[in-house]
Amino acid sequence: MTIYHTPEAHPDLSTPDPHQDAYSRSILGFWTYLMTDCLLFGSLFTTYAVLHLNTFGGPGAKELFSLPEAFIETMLLLFSSVTCGLAMLALLKMNKTQALGWLLITFILGAAFIGMEIREFHHLIEGGNSFTRSAFLSSFFTLVGTHGAHVTTGLIWVLVMIAQILHYGITVDTFRRLAVFSMFWHFLDLIWIFIFTFVYLMGVI
């Protein structure tokens, strides 16, 4: 589906649509970026796999991680991915109010996720288990912290998208930007599922 700036009933299909070209380039370019991010997280996962038993005599995953809290974080991010998808559907239906509502809920769920992650980090550091305690904790803080930094970037992106849709409405540009953001947010959701499984679930059980 193509969204036009002006309500032309019969756009000229005989000439290339520059908006479609821009959309295709944006999507391709962002896929390239996501592939580089896959390499980044792949290296962090590998580092954690190598170092997760090097506790330097300190506590390990079983003693430090709370599986119920990690599960709640997972649910928050999963539901935020659903609401992000619903925002895209609302934009396709040209429903500005619904799109803004779903984006706001996406932001709230993502912010709650970050809040829980900061709380976990604070609890670990207060207990004397900061990233300097052992190689295990260094790799843990780096992996989970990098993901958290990406989610924080996504939250800023959501606020920018809300502001742009409020100001410009539903246009080709706002749709393209939300489509790219949606790719980014779903990617972070997928990475977190791997973190939950590999770091928390396998570490506690």
Which CATH number do you get for residue 104? 1.20.120.80
The answer to whether residue 106 is domain-embedded is: yes
Per-residue confidence band for 14, with pLDDT thresholds at 50, 70 and 90: very low
The answer to whether residue 6 is domain-embedded is: no
- The mean-pLDDT minimum among 15-24, 53-62, 100-109, 159-168 falls in 15-24
The answer to whether residue 146 is domain-embedded is: yes
Tokens of 197: 């499984």
Tokens of 114: 């970050």
3-state secondary structure the chain: CCCCCCCCCCCCCCCCCHHHHHHHHHHHHHHHHHHHHHHHHHHHHHHHHHHCCCCCCCCCHHHHCCHHHHHHHHHHHHHHHHHHHHHHHHHHCCCHHHHHHHHHHHHHHHHHHHHHHHHHHHHHHHCCCCCCCCHHHHHHHHHHHHHHHHHHHHHHHHHHHHHHHHHHCCCHHHHHHHHHHHHHHHHHHHHHHHHHHHHHHHHHC
- pLDDT averaged over every residue in the chain: 90
Per-residue confidence (pLDDT) for residue 19, from 0 to 100: 54
The answer to whether residue 14 is domain-embedded is: no
Query: What would the pLDDT profile of 26-55 be if each residue is shown by its tens digit?
Result: 788 889 999 999 999 999 999 999 999 999
For residue 108, the enclosing domain spans 19-51+66-204
Tokens of 128: 């004397």
The answer to whether residue 71 is domain-embedded is: yes
Number of domains in the chain: 1
pLDDT over 70 (residue 16): no
The answer to whether residue 187 is domain-embedded is: yes
The answer to whether residue 3 is domain-embedded is: no
More confident position, 149 or 6: 149
More confident position, 22 or 106: 106
The answer to whether residue 61 is domain-embedded is: no
Per-residue confidence (pLDDT) for residue 168, from 0 to 100: 94
Per-residue confidence (pLDDT) for residue 7, from 0 to 100: 40
pLDDT over 90 (residue 6): no
